[in-house]
C-alpha cells in the first residue's frame, strides 16, 4: 500500500515538475513586458546620481577624450539610442541631428530658410536672399547660395531641392504625404534657382499658401546623388525609409562622430560652407556637440547641477532654486517667472460624446472652476505665463500672436478660473442640479461622473489633471483621475474614427507651438472637423468637435492677406472657441525648455542679449537659434 | 490568558515596540479629529513650502501694534539681505567696473552701498561675466534698495472713486505683532508638497490607509498560509505533497515580481486600496504556510493529538483544538510580520506607479512617488519624503520589535 502510494506520489511529482516546466514559458514571455515599467522607477529611488557621475567613466575610448572646453553638452533631446541618420525617415530617434518641423533642426542637414520664432520672420540659410511669390500667389521662386556645398565638396543645387521633394512624394514619407495636397511640384529652373508650385483649387488659387511657404523652412535639402545611391540599394519604400543611412551626405556644420546607447556625439565639419562671409563668416564655437542619454529627468537635472550639461531642454522643476538656493551659474531665457517663452498650449480636451459633456454648460462650468494659478504655480513650478498675463484664447503668449486677435471683443468670454460660484450658477441655470441629494449633480437623472486622464509619468500634466479633478468636486461633478501608459494612451486618443472609449472623458494633449504657419495651424488642429473620422489622427481635435462656421473660417484664413480681415477672422474663431469650449488650455509651455549652465560656455541667448535678429531659446539647434552657436564663448578661455 | 499577556508585557522589547505602534495608531485616530482639513486639499499656491509657521501679512497689519526697540534689529535686517558673500561680490563688481580696491571697504555697509549705488549699472557689460552672474547682481541690486532706510513703510489703498492711492497705515521698523493675536496663521510642521498640500495632514491620512492595507494584506496572507500549513502538516501524504508543490512553485517565483505583474495587469481603473491589499495578501502567504507546516508536523505525533484521534474526534476538531493553540503565538508573530511587509509592499508598488489609484486618500508610497517625480530629493526638499520614510520605518520597526519580544516570551530556546 505504502509502496503504491510512494510510486503514485513520485509519478505525481514528476508530472507536476513537467507541468511546471511547461508552465514556465508563458510566464517568461509575459515577464519582460510588464517588468519594463517597474524596473525603470526602481532605480529612480537613489536620485540617479550614480548615472550622472558614472557616465564619464563609462565612455568608450574614442569619445572619452572629448575636451571639455571644446564640447557643448545637451540634455532632454535624446532618449534612448540613435536609430539612424536618414533624413527621409521620421523614426531616426536622433535628437541632435534630425527634426523636420516648424523650427527645423539644422545641425547636420539644412533647410533653405531658418524660421525665427521671436520675430516671426525667416532668414536665408541655403537660400540666397528672400523668396518671392508671383503676383497670382501660386508659386514661390528662390535662389540658392553658390557657395553652399555638400560634405563631399559638390555644390548644393536646385536639382537637389527638386529631387528631394520628388523622393518625398515617390516614397510617401511623412513630409511627402503631409505636403502633397498643397505643393504641386518643386522644379529647378537653373542650377541656383528653384520654383515651388502650389496646388491650385477650382478657382485657380493656391489651396494653402501658408503651408507652401512653411515647407522652405521646415524641410531639409538632401543631396540628389546620395538619394540615388539610397534608391539603388532599397528594394521598396519601406527599405528606403528604414535605411540607417550611415553614408549620408550632409551640408550642415556638424556630423556623426560617435553613438552608442550611452551618448551621442557630433563633430564640427571644418570644411563647412557656412564659414563663408556670405553666411556666418566663421565656424560655430563648440567643436563637439554631445548628448549623454540620461535615464530620466532627475538624472538630467543632476548632471545640469554638476555642470556636466551646458544646455538643458527638459523640465527642471523649481528651476529658480538652482540659482537662488544652490548658487549655481545656471540661468533661463528670462531671469524671472515664467523663465521661458511660452509657445504651445497644453490643453484638456472634452470627449464630446461622453454623457453630459455634450452640454456646453457642463464643459464651461468645469473649465471655469479649474484653479489655473495653482496649475501654473504647482504643476509647472511657475514656468508658464499666467492667464492674467495672457488671457485665454487660441494664441500663445508671444506678443506677435496676441496682436492677431481683438482681446477686448472677447474679454467677457475669457474666464480666469477658480470661479466656483460662477460655475455652480451656470449649472443651476442649465437645470443641471443635484436631484437626489447625494452631493453630485445629475443631468436627466444620471449622475455626472467623469475620468480625467493623461499619460503616466508625465509629471506636470499629471499634476494639472489632479487640479482639474479637484475642481470637479467643488462644483458637484465627480471627476477621478487615471494615468494609462503612453503606449496605450496614444493609440486610444489618436483614433478619431470612433467615439473615445470609457475612461477618456477629459484628457490632455498638446497643441502646436510657434512656427511659420501659426497660429492658423494650431487653431486648425484644435477645432477643425477635418480630423474627425481619421483612423490615425496625430493632428488634433481629439475630442471630435465639429462646427461648420469654424471650419469655414479655418479654410479661409490661409488665402487671406488683409491684416484687418485676418484679425476679424481670428477674433471670430476665438469667440467660437470660448463659447463652445470643446477643450480648455491648462497652461502655456515653451517650445523648448532652455536652461543653461555657464560653467564652461557663456553668451547663450537670453532675454536681453541684444542680438539682432534675436536668437530664440531653442537649444541652439533649431531654426534661427543655431545662430547662438556662433556667439558662444568660453568662460575661461 | 491573563498570565500570557502579563508575560508578554514584561518583555521590554515588546513594550517599546507596542508603545511606538500605539503612538502611531493614536495619532492616526485622533489627528483627523483635531485638524479637519481634507488630506488632499490644495492650500499652497506653489510647491514645497518649507516647514514653519505661516502668518498672514494682511491680517498682521490690522493687529495691535507693539513697539519693541531692539538693538540688533537693524543689523539683522541688513544681514538677511547682504551677507558676507554678497559683500565680496559687490567688491568684485566694483573692481571690475574700475573702482580701486583701496576705496572699497566691505565692512562699512553705508560706504559700500553708496559706492554701489553710484557705480552700478545693470546695462554695463563686464568682460567675462556670465548671464547667471549678471542676473544675480540685478537681484542683489533690487534687494539692497532701501536697506539703510530708518523710516517706515506706508500702506496705501486704491480708491476707485478718486483713482488715487490713500494712505491707510504706516508700518515702522520697530513695529511688532503678537502672533497669537493675528487672525490667520497656519502651522505647517512639515511644510507642503509638490501640490501645495499640508504634508503632515496628508501623512497621517496616508498612514491610516497604509495600515489598513497592511492589516488586510497581512490577515489574508496569514489565513491562506495558516490553512494550507495546517492541512499539509497534519493530513500529510498526498495532500501535503500537493500543497507543498504549490507552495514551492510560489517560492521560486519572487513574490514581488509576481506582485508587480498582477498589479500591472489589473489596470489602473480597478486598483483601489483594498484590491492592492488583496493582491499583496495573495502573493505573500508562502513562507507562513511552510513555517506552519513544519510546526504542525512536529506536533502531529504528540500524545495528546494521538489521544484525540483515538477518541474519534474529527479532523477539524483536532486541528482547531489540539494543534492550533500550540502554534497560536507563532501565528500572531507571523501576522505581525506579514502586516509590516504588506505596508512595505504597498509603498514599493506605489513608488513604481503601480500602487492604488486614489484621488480621495493618499498612501505613503504615493507620497514618495510624487516627491520623486518633482525631484524633491535633488532639490533638497527633505520634508516631502523624509517624514514618509521615517513613518514607514517606525511602523515596521515597532512591529518587528513586538515580534522579537513575543519570540522571547514564547520561544523556549530563547527563554531566559
CB contact under 8 A, A462 and B373: yes
- Predicted confidence band of residue A625 (pLDDT cuts 50, 70, 90): very high
CA separation for the pair A359, A362 (Å, rounded): 6
CATH number, position A393:
3.10.105.10
CA separation for the pair A241, A89 (Å, rounded): 5
Across the interface, of A20, A470, A604, the residue whose CB is closest to B42 is A470
CB contact under 8 A, B354 and A38: yes
Across the interface, of B45, B138, B379, the residue whose CB is closest to A374 is B45
CA distance B294 to chain A (A): 20
Exposure b/e, A481-492, CB count within 10 A at least 16 = b: bbbbeeeebeee
Domain end point (choices A242, A277, A297): A242
| pLDDT averaged over every residue in chain A | 86
CA dihedral for B92, B97, B98, B99, sign (positive or negative): negative
Say whether both A452 and A466 belong to one domain. Answer: yes
Pairwise pLDDT comparison (A277 vs B128), residue with the higher score: A277
Which chain A residues contact residue B378 at CB under 8 A? 47, 298, 301-302, 305
The answer to whether A56 contacts chain B (CB < 8 Å) is: no
Say whether both A318 and A348 belong to one domain. Answer: no
The answer to whether B163 contacts chain A (CB < 8 Å) is: no
Q: Which domain holds residue A613?
A: 254-335+591-634
Q: Which site among B85, B131, B143, B372 would you substitute to test the A interface, given the most A Cβ atoms closer than 10 Å to its Cβ?
A: B131
Across the interface, of A5, A317, A323, the residue whose CB is closest to B132 is A323
> How many structural domains comprise chain A?
3
Pairwise pLDDT comparison (A60 vs A12), residue with the higher score: A12
Angle at B53 between CA B47 and CA B58, to 5 degrees: 85
- C-alpha dist (Å) from residue B154 to B165, B169, B182: 11, 6, 20
Say whether both A275 and A390 belong to one domain. Answer: no
- C-alpha dist (Å) from residue B412 to A353, A465, B301, B329: 69, 57, 19, 12
CA separation for the pair A44, A295 (Å, rounded): 9
Domain for residue A60, yes or no? no
* Per-residue pLDDT at A475: 93
CA dihedral for A192, A198, A204, A206, sign (positive or negative): negative
In B, minimum Cα distance to A470 occurs at: B41
Q: For the segment A70-129, what is each residue's pLDDT rounded down to a tens digit?
A: 999 999 888 888 889 999 988 888 889 999 988 999 999 999 999 998 888 899 999 999
Q: Which site among B130, B366, B381 would you substitute to test the A interface, given the most A Cβ atoms closer than 10 Å to its Cβ?
A: B130
The answer to whether B372 contacts chain A (CB < 8 Å) is: yes
Say whether both A185 and A322 belong to one domain. Answer: no
CB contact under 8 A, A378 and B194: yes
* Per-residue pLDDT at A30: 31
The answer to whether A482 contacts chain B (CB < 8 Å) is: yes
CB contact under 8 A, B268 and A381: no
Domain for residue A579, yes or no? yes
CA distance B41 to chain A (A): 8
Residues of chain B with pLDDT under 70: 267-270, 353, 357-360, 414-416
CA separation for the pair A248, A222 (Å, rounded): 9
Domain end point (choices A184, A212, A242): A242
CATH number, position A197:
3.90.76.10
The answer to whether A469 contacts chain B (CB < 8 Å) is: yes
Q: For the segment A7-39, what is each residue's pLDDT rounded down to a tens digit?
A: 555 655 555 544 444 433 333 333 333 333 333
Across the interface, of B238, B373, B379, the residue whose CB is closest to A321 is B379
B148 neighbors B113 (Cβ within 8 angstroms): yes
Domain for residue A36, yes or no? no
CA separation for the pair B111, B44 (Å, rounded): 41
* Per-residue pLDDT at A318: 87
* Per-residue pLDDT at A60: 43
Q: Which site among A23, A303, A318, A492 would you substitute to test the B interface, given the most B Cβ atoms closer than 10 Å to its Cβ?
A: A318
CA separation for the pair B366, A86 (Å, rounded): 42
Which chain B residues contact residue A14 at CB under 8 A? none
Residues 357-376 of A with CB under 8 A from B: 371, 373-374
Across the interface, of A381, A463, A480, the residue whose CB is closest to B359 is A480
Say whether both A453 and A365 belong to one domain. Answer: yes
The answer to whether B270 contacts chain A (CB < 8 Å) is: no
Q: For the segment A117-174, what is each residue's pLDDT rounded down to a tens digit?
A: 888 889 999 999 999 999 888 999 999 999 999 999 999 999 999 999 999 999 998 8
The answer to whether B264 contacts chain A (CB < 8 Å) is: yes
Say whether both A349 and A236 belong to one domain. Answer: no
Cell of A618: 531653442
- HSE-CB for B21 with a 13 A CA cutoff: 19
In terms of average pLDDT, the best of A56-60, A487-491, B1-5 is A487-491
CB contact under 8 A, B359 and A13: no
Residues 225-254 of B with CB under 8 A from A: 237-238, 241-242, 245, 249, 253
CA distance A515 to chain B (A): 27
Q: For the segment B127-150, what is each residue's pLDDT rounded down to a tens digit?
A: 778 888 889 998 888 888 878 778
Domain for residue A285, yes or no? yes
* DSSP per-residue codes, A593-619: --EEETTSEE----TT---SSPPPSST
Domain for residue A511, yes or no? yes
| Model confidence at A1: pLDDT above 50 | no
Domain for residue A615, yes or no? yes
Which chain B residues contact residue A41 at CB under 8 A? 351-353, 372
- Distant-in-sequence, close-in-space partners of A403: CB < 8 Å, separation ≥ 6: none
CB contact under 8 A, A30 and B133: no
Domain end point (choices A242, A275, A294): A242
Which chain B residues contact residue A462 at CB under 8 A? 373
Domain for residue A151, yes or no? yes
The answer to whether A45 contacts chain B (CB < 8 Å) is: yes
Say whether both A446 and A402 belong to one domain. Answer: yes
The answer to whether A491 contacts chain B (CB < 8 Å) is: no
Say whether both A299 and A403 belong to one domain. Answer: no
B237 neighbors B296 (Cβ within 8 angstroms): no
Say whether both A407 and A456 belong to one domain. Answer: yes
Q: For the segment A365-387, what is each residue's pLDDT rounded down to a tens digit?
A: 999 999 999 999 988 889 999 99
Which chain A residues contact residue B40 at CB under 8 A? 470
- Distant-in-sequence, close-in-space partners of B202: CB < 8 Å, separation ≥ 6: B39, B40, B193, B362, B367
Cell of A312: 538643458
- C-alpha dist (Å) from residue B254 to A42, A259, B344: 16, 36, 15
CA separation for the pair B331, B320 (Å, rounded): 13
What share of chain A in percent tops pLDDT 70?
A: 90
In A, minimum Cα distance to B123 occurs at: A608
Across the interface, of B44, B131, B374, the residue whose CB is closest to A604 is B131
In which element (H, E) is residue A113 found? strand A113-116
Say whether both A559 and A600 belong to one domain. Answer: no
CA distance B292 to chain A (A): 22
The answer to whether A30 contacts chain B (CB < 8 Å) is: yes
Residues 19-48 of B with CB under 8 A from A: 40-42, 44-48
The answer to whether A635 contacts chain B (CB < 8 Å) is: yes
Which chain B residues contact residue A483 at CB under 8 A? 268, 353
SS3 A114: strand
The answer to whether A145 contacts chain B (CB < 8 Å) is: no
Say whether both A327 and A309 belong to one domain. Answer: yes
Domain for residue A33, yes or no? no
Say whether both A555 and A595 belong to one domain. Answer: no
Amino acid at each position: 500500500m505504502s509502496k503504491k502510494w510512494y510510486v503514485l506520489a513520485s509519478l505525481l511529482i514528476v508530472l507536476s515538475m513537467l507541468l511546471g516546466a511547461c508552465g514556465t514559458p508563458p510566464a517568461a514571455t509575459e515577464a519582460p513586458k510588464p517588468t519594463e515599467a517597474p524596473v525603470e522607477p526602481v532605480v529612480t529611488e537613489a536620485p540617479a546620481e550614480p548615472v550622472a557621475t558614472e557616465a564619464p567613466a563609462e565612455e568608450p575610448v574614442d569619445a572619452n577624450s572629448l575636451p571639455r572646453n571644446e564640447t557643448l553638452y545637451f540634455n532632454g533631446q535624446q532618449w534612448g539610442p540613435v536609430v539612424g541618420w536618414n533624413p527621409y525617415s521620421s523614426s531616426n530617434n536622433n535628437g541632435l541631428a534630425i527634426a523636420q518641423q516648424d523650427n527645423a533642426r539644422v545641425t547636420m542637414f539644412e533647410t533653405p530658410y531658418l524660421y525665427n520664432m521671436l520675430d516671426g520672420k525667416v532668414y536665408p540659410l541655403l537660400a540666397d536672399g528672400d523668396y518671392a511669390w508671383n503676383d497670382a500667389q501660386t508659386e514661390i521662386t528662390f535662389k540658392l547660395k553658390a557657395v553652399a556645398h555638400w560634405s563631399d565638396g559638390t555644390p548644393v543645387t536646385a536639382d537637389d531641392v527638386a529631387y528631394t521633394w520628388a523622393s518625398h512624394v515617390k516614397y510617401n514619407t511623412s513630409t511627402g504625404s503631409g505636403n502633397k495636397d498643397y505643393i504641386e511640384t518643386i522644379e529647378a529652373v537653373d542650377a541656383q534657382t528653384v520654383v515651388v508650385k502650389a496646388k491650385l483649387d477650382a478657382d485657380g488659387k493656391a489651396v494653402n499658401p501658408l503651408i507652401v511657404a512653411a515647407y522652405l523652412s521646415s524641410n531639409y535639402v538632401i543631396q540628389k546623388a546620395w538619394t540615388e545611391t539610397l534608391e539603388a540599394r532599397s528594394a521598396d519604400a519601406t527599405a528606403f525609409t528604414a535605411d540607417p543611412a550611415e553614408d549620408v551626405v550632409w551640408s550642415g556644420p556638424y556630423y556623426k562622430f560617435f553613438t552608442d546607447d550611452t551618448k551621442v556625439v557630433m563633430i564640427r565639419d571644418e570644411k563647412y560652407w557656412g564659414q563663408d562671409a556670405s553666411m556666418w563668416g566663421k565656424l560655430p564655437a563648440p567643436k563637439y556637440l554631445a548628448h549623454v542619454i540620461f535615464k530620466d529627468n532627475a538624472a538630467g537635472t543632476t548632471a545640469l547641477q554638476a555642470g556636466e550639461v551646458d544646455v538643458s531642454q527638459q523640465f527642471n522643476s523649481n528651476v529658480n532654486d538652482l540659482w537662488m538656493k544652490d548658487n549655481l551659474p545656471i540661468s533661463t531665457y528670462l531671469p524671472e517667472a515664467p523663465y521661458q517663452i511660452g509657445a504651445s498650449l497644453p490643453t484638456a480636451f472634452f470627449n464630446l460624446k461622453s454623457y453630459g459633456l455634450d452640454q456646453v454648460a457642463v464643459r464651461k462650468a468645469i473649465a471655469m472652476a479649474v484653479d489655473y494659478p495653482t496649475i501654473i504655480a504647482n504643476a509647472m513650478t511657475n514656468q508658464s505665463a499666467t492667464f492674467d498675463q495672457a488671457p485665454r484664447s487660441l494664441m500663445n503668449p508671444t506678443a506677435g500672436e496676441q496682436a492677431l486677435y481683438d482681446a477686448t471683443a472677447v474679454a467677457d468670454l475669457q474666464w480666469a478660473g477658480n470661479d466656483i460660484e460662477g460655475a455652480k450658477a451656470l449649472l443651476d441655470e442649465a437645470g443641471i442640479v443635484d436631484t437626489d441629494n447625494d452631493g453630485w449633480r445629475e443631468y436627466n437623472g444620471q449622475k455626472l461622473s467623469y475620468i480625467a486622464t493623461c499619460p503616466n509619468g508625465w509629471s506636470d500634466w499629471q499634476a494639472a489633471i489632479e487640479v482639474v479633478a479637484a475642481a470637479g468636486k467643488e462644483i458637484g461633478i465627480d471627476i477621478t483621475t487615471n494615468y494609462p501608459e503612453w503606449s496605450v494612451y496614444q493609440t486610444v486618443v489618436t483614433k478619431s474614427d470612433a467615439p473615445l472609449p470609457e475612461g477618456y472623458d477629459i484628457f490632455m494633449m498638446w497643441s502646436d507651438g510657434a512656427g511659420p504657419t501659426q497660429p492658423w495651424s494650431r487653431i486648425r488642429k484644435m477645432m477643425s472637423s477635418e480630423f474627425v473620422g481619421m483612423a490615425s489622427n496625430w493632428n488634433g481635435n481629439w475630442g471630435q468637435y465639429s462646427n461648420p462656421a469654424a471650419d469655414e473660417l479655418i479654410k479661409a484664413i490661409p488665402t487671406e492677406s488683409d491684416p484687418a480681415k485676418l484679425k476679424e477672422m481670428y477674433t471670430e474663431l476665438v469667440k467660437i472657441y470660448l463659447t463652445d469650449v470643446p477643450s480648455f488650455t491648462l497652461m502655456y509651455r515653451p517650445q523648448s525648455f532652455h536652461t543653461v549652465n555657464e560653467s564652461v560656455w557663456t553668451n547663450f541667448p537670453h532675454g536681453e542679449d541684444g542680438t539682432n535678429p534675436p536668437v530664440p531659446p531653442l537649444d541652439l539647434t533649431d531654426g534661427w537659434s543655431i545662430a547662438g552657436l556662433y556667439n558662444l564663448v568660453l568662460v575661461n578661455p | 490568558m491573563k498570565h500570557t499577556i502579563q508575560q508578554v508585557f514584561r518583555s521590554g522589547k515588546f513594550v517599546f515596540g507596542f508603545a511606538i505602534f500605539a503612538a502611531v495608531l493614536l495619532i492616526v485616530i485622533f489627528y483627523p479629529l483635531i485638524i479637519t482639513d481634507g488630506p488632499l486639499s490644495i492650500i499652497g499656491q506653489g510647491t514645497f513650502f518649507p516647514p514653519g509657521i505661516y502668518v498672514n501679512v494682511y491680517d498682521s497689519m490690522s493687529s495691535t501694534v507693539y513697539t519693541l526697540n531692539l538693538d540688533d534689529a537693524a543689523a539683522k535686517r541688513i544681514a538677511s539681505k547682504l551677507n558676507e558673500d554678497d559683500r565680496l561680490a559687490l567688491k568684485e563688481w566694483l573692481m571690475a567696473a574700475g573702482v580701486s580696491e583701496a576705496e572699497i571697504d566691505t565692512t562699512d555697509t553705508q560706504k559700500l552701498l553708496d559706492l554701489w549705488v553710484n557705480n552700478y549699472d545693470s546695462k554695463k557689460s563686464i568682460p567675462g561675466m556670465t548671464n547667471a552672474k549678471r542676473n544675480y547682481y540685478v537681484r542683489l541690486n533690487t534687494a539692497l534698495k532701501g536697506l539703510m532706510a530708518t523710516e517706515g513703510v506706508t500702506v496705501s489703498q486704491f480708491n476707485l472713486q478718486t483713482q488715487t492711492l490713500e494712505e491707510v497705515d504706516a508700518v515702522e521698523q520697530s513695529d511688532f505683532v503678537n502672533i497669537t493675536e493675528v487672525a490667520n496663521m497656519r502651522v505647517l510642521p512639515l511644510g507642503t508638497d509638490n501640490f501645495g498640500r499640508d504634508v503632515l495632514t496628508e501623512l497621517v491620512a496616508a498612514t491610516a490607509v497604509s495600515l489598513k492595507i497592511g492589516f488586510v494584506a497581512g490577515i489574508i496572507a496569514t489565513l491562506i498560509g495558516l490553512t494550507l500549513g495546517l492541512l499539509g502538516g497534519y493530513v500529510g501524504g498526498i495532500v501535503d505533497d500537493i500543497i507543498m508543490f504549490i507552495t514551492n512553485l510560489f517560492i521560486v517565483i519572487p513574490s514581488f515580481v509576481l506582485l508587480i505583474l498582477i498589479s500591472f495587469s489589473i489596470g489602473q481603473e480597478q486598483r483601489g486600496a483594498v484590491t492592492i491589499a488583496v493582491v499583496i495578501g495573495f502573493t505573500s502567504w508562502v513562507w507562513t504556510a511552510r513555517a506552519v507546516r513544519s510546526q504542525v508536523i512536529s506536533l502531529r505525533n504528540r500524545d495528546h493529538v494521538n489521544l484525540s484521534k483515538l477518541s474519534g474526534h474529527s479532523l477539524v476538531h483536532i486541528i482547531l483544538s489540539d494543534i492550533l493553540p500550540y502554534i497560536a503565538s507563532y501565528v500572531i508573530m507571523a501576522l505581525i510580520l506579514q502586516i509590516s511587509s504588506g505596508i512595505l509592499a504597498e509603498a514599493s508598488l506605489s513608488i513604481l506607479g503601480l500602487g492604488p489609484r486614489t484621488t480621495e486618500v493618499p498612501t505613503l508610497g504615493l507620497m514618495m512617488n510624487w516627491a520623486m517625480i518633482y525631484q524633491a530629493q535633488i532639490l533638497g526638499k527633505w520634508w516631502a519624503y523624509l517624514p514618509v520614510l521615517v513613518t514607514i520605518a517606525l511602523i515596521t520597526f515597532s512591529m518587528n520589535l513586538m515580534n522579537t519580544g513575543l519570540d522571547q516570551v514564547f520561544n523556549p530556546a530563547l527563554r531566559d
